[in-house]
Structure 1
């Protein structure tokens, strides 16, 4: 738990507002949610952008010391977030992107959220599609088994393909320099083998009656988590008795939470939270 986590949680607990927990995915930090946090705060919520274990506070620090991010597994991060959420005095809404979207569903499956939004969520056990673009996006990590225990940075070209394919070259470079950090390889290996491993940590309790309402958001042009993966996650989640919805945002790639059109995505999430929290 960082001092920033503590400050945000204390601030959320001090006001009569529903907390909204933001969960980042691989190659990003909690600060990638800063504009979302301000937007939700203006809308009357108490934003909390939580860290993964040992997250550096800045992009510069993360790029200078990538080793601190190595070896983090889906289960470790989920348990870390569970502990942090347990210190909130009100049940939060949870919004997550990519592996943060998978973690959002894990946390919802544990009954920890009042309402959840999973944006371009990484796949979990039972989600079967393996599109070529998703395999190419994960190749920088999965191509070397040793990366399981490393923190792996993306080159600009890899970031451009996996995240920023739906924006201009100029914006892609700006996003890369502003947001991109090395990421632990372990979660990608866990997701890639989830359907072969009955004991995988990359699994979601989709049937918990306390899961609460869930919205899955898919970017139309996402290479990393294409519609087929997002829709397969939605179909698994439909078994839950709670409200389960999916929507596609046209013309958007995996960087949809940080690129110039972030507010359209934020407003889509905010509208769902307002309806159900």
Structure 2
């Protein structure tokens, strides 16, 4: 496979730092790795960033990503985790890409988990006044149970300490799409024509394997892979190298 751009999209409350291991892995393989922060998600998030982030829409994030991609001289591979996986799907409706890798992706509008901490996490924002336009930060207790439970305790705290505030509007668009007149979380699956790889963790409490598989099944050219002993923080859990290696092999295969 001729080495191309990999454009990584992180999830909610995070930043480009979640891709440190993956980007290093793929750089060694010869890829050009782009790991931007979503708008207002830089590590040293300022008070102004926190104040402004609450009203940012998924569509704003998607617009920023499309602008980045328009500057590239080659079609990239999009690699998204969690909310970043949903953003990858949104962007791929209108931007030509070589392939899409969705790691435990956020669900497009209309796909809901039957039993999942996903909805618990979404409903947790309700205690914020005017939550649909508020900056949102989970507690360590919430995130350690729903997302970080396969990490050692000291690593859980290290990861959480790097979290930043997220847009209440974006989370509301994901959790309550029927109330969103802009249909920000809607994906027209037929418009996504590139190969799609969906990866799930068997112990993921946010994006369960059942939900991940249902997302994959909406794409004509899809590959689904479930990794045992992995949860929602698959990017940095023990054995993440196996996940990265599988992605690399898949990218090689689709170019044959």
Query: Normalising by structure 2, what TM-score?
Result: 0.90
Between the aligned partners of 1:166 and 1:150, the Cα distance in structure 2 is: 30
Match 1:50 to one of 3, 12, 36: 36
Between the aligned partners of 2:158 and 2:222, the Cα distance in structure 1 is: 35
Q: Does 1:30 align with 2:16?
A: yes
Match 2:183 to one of 164, 184, 200: 200
Residue of structure 1 in register with 2:104 after alignment: 120
Aligned residues between the structures: 253
- The Cα shift of 1:189 comes to 0.9
Contact 1:19 1:47 in 2 (8 A): yes
Between the aligned partners of 1:218 and 1:54, the Cα distance in structure 2 is: 28
Match 1:91 to one of 75, 81, 95: 75
Closer/same/farther in 2, CA of residues 127 and 195 from structure 1, 3 Å limit? farther
Between the aligned partners of 2:103 and 2:46, the Cα distance in structure 1 is: 25
Deviations 1:228-259 (A, max 9, x none): 2212211222xx3xx20111111111111133
Closer/same/farther in 2, CA of residues 142 and 223 from structure 1, 3 Å limit? farther
Between the aligned partners of 1:71 and 1:77, the Cα distance in structure 2 is: 11
Residue of structure 2 in register with 1:215 after alignment: 197
Q: Please identify, of 227-236 and 112-121, the stretch whose mean Cα deviation from structure 2 is larger.
A: 227-236
Unaligned runs of 5+ in 2: none
Q: Which runs of 4+ in 1 moved over 6 A?
A: none
Between the aligned partners of 1:32 and 1:55, the Cα distance in structure 2 is: 12
Match 1:140 to one of 124, 132, 135: 124
Contact 2:119 2:175 in 1 (8 A): no
Residue of structure 2 in register with 1:271 after alignment: 249
Query: Normalising by structure 1, what TM-score?
Result: 0.84
Residue of structure 2 in register with 1:4 after alignment: none
Q: Does 1:75 align with 2:75?
A: no
Between the aligned partners of 1:24 and 1:45, the Cα distance in structure 2 is: 18
Closer/same/farther in 2, CA of residues 258 and 185 from structure 1, 3 Å limit? farther
Deviations 1:180-230 (A, max 9, x none): 22211212211122256574110112112x621000011111111112221
Contact 2:128 2:134 in 1 (8 A): no
Unaligned runs of 5+ in 1: 1-15
Q: Please identify, of 91-100 and 249-258, the stretch whose mean Cα deviation from structure 2 is larger.
A: 249-258
Aligned to 2:111, the other structure's residue is in SS state coil
Residue of structure 2 in register with 1:18 after alignment: 4
Deviations 1:124-143 (A, max 9, x none): 12313342422223233244
Q: Does 1:224 align with 2:206?
A: yes
Match 2:154 to one of 170, 176, 194: 170
Which residues of 2 match residues 151-162 of structure 1 at below 5 A? Answer: 151-162=135-146
Closer/same/farther in 2, CA of residues 232 and 143 from structure 1, 3 Å limit? farther
Residue of structure 2 in register with 1:5 after alignment: none
Between the aligned partners of 1:259 and 1:216, the Cα distance in structure 2 is: 18
Q: Please identify, of 188-197 and 39-48, the stretch whose mean Cα deviation from structure 2 is larger.
A: 188-197
Closer/same/farther in 2, CA of residues 259 and 157 from structure 1, 3 Å limit? same
- The Cα shift of 1:157 comes to 0.6
